[in-house]
Structure 1
Amino acid sequence: MKRILYLFMACCLISINALAQEINWVTLEEAVKLQKKMPKKIMVDVYTNWCGPCKMLDKNTFHNKDVVDYVNKHYYAVKFNGEGNDVVTFDGKTYDNPNYNPANAKRRNSAHQLTRYFQINAYPTIVFIDEKGKMIAPIKGYQQPQGLELYLKLFKDDAYKEMDTQEKFTAYAKAFKAEFQG
């Protein structure tokens, strides 16, 4: 009986731990509203249903405890299907996917209009938006926790504003000491 109780308690702890490692995802419209109440930057994960690296980013990076804790504390996080059919209002304009084909929901589909605004031409892309709703940068490709950490801290602390050349960014990246666990 003791053994069953210990097993039950261990399962509960594992379940609680798994639940605790979730990013608080909101819609883009909700993030903009939240910014008005408490200014923070926005991180937008632009993915597609068919994209393998997008799934890896979600599984390996967005479930990393250090990433989850940092993003939840310093950003509003948005998940956005770059080939989905959501109607989104952002920066005073409405965006949709007029060529969306429901038959292709699980495979390649037409690009959502918002992807053009965010300058997306590859998936996954993580778009960072400042406290005033202006795009800082789109970061293309799969990011491991430590790689994403560099950008999370660069943008959160506004250090990017001092990097007007590639050489300055390269020096920042070389000097950067990752703290997130892999």
Structure 2
Amino acid sequence: MKKILLLIVAAGFMSLNATAQKINWVSFDEALALQKKNPKKIMVDMYTNWCGPCKMLDKNTFQNPEVADYVNEHYYAVKFNAEGNAVVNYKDKSFTNPNYDQAKANRRNSAHELARYFQISAYPTIVFLDENADVIAPIRGYQTPPKLELYLKMFKKDDHKDIKSQEDFNAYYTAFKPEFKG
């Protein structure tokens, strides 16, 4: 009986630990509403259902406890299907996917108007928005936890505002010492 009780307690702690390490994803509209009450930057994961590197980003980077904790503390996180059929209200405009085909829900589909607005041409792309919901930068491709850490911290601290050239970025990149394991 004690063994069963210990297993139940251990499973409960493991469950609590797992949920504490997950990113608190919200919809795009929710992030914009939250931002009005408590200004934070927004991180938008622009993914598609068929994208292999998008799945790797979910599994290897967004499940990383250090990434999840940092994102949850400093950003509103949005997971957005860039070929989905959600309706998003952004910058006084309603964005949809008028050519969305439900039969292609898990294959290549029409790009969402919001993905076009952000000029997304590859998946995954993480779009960072400032406290006014203006685009800071889209970051293309799969990011390991230490690589994503660079952008998370650079944008959080507004260090990107001092980077005026590729040379400036290279110097910032070289000086950056990642702390996240990955």
Sort the TM-score into its range (normalised by shorter chain). Answer: over 0.9
Q: What per-residue deviation string (whole Å, max 9, x for no partner) do you get for residues 82-115 of structure 1?
A: 0001111101111111110000001110100111
Instruction: Establish whether residue 29 from structure 1 lines up as the match of residue 32 from structure 2.
Output: no
Pairing of 1:131-142 with structure 2 (within 5 A) = 131-142=131-142
Q: Which deviates more, 94-103 or 11-20? A: 11-20
Q: Give the Å deviation of 1:33.
A: 1.2
Q: Which deviates more, 5-14 or 165-174? A: 5-14
| Letter paired with 2:23 | I
| Letter paired with 2:136 | I
Secondary structure in 1 matching 2:136: strand
| TM, length-normalised to structure 2 | 0.97
**Aligned pairs, how many?**
182
Secondary structure in 2 matching 1:136: strand
Q: Which deviates more, 96-105 or 25-34? A: 25-34
Q: Distance in 2 between matches of 1:116 and 1:30?
A: 21
Secondary structure in 1 matching 2:132: coil
| Letter paired with 1:180 | F
Q: Give the Å deviation of 1:27.
A: 1.1
Instruction: Establish whether residue 41 from structure 1 lines up as the match of residue 25 from structure 2.
Output: no
Q: Distance in 1 between matches of 2:91 and 2:28?
A: 10
Q: Distance in 2 between matches of 1:10 and 1:24?
A: 24
Q: Give the Å deviation of 1:133.
A: 1.3
Q: Give the Å deviation of 1:167.
A: 0.5
Q: What per-residue deviation string (whole Å, max 9, x for no partner) do you get for residues 30-67 of structure 1?
A: 11111111111000000000011101111111111101
User: 4+ runs of 1 displaced by more than 4 Å?
Assistant: none
The aligned counterpart of 1:85 is 85
Secondary structure in 1 matching 2:79: strand
Pairing of 1:1-182 with structure 2 (within 5 A) = 1-182=1-182
Q: Give the Å deviation of 1:8.
A: 2.3
Q: Give the Å deviation of 1:4.
A: 2.4
Root mean square deviation of aligned Cα: 0.9
Q: Give the Å deviation of 1:162.
A: 0.4
Q: Give the Å deviation of 1:132.
A: 1.1
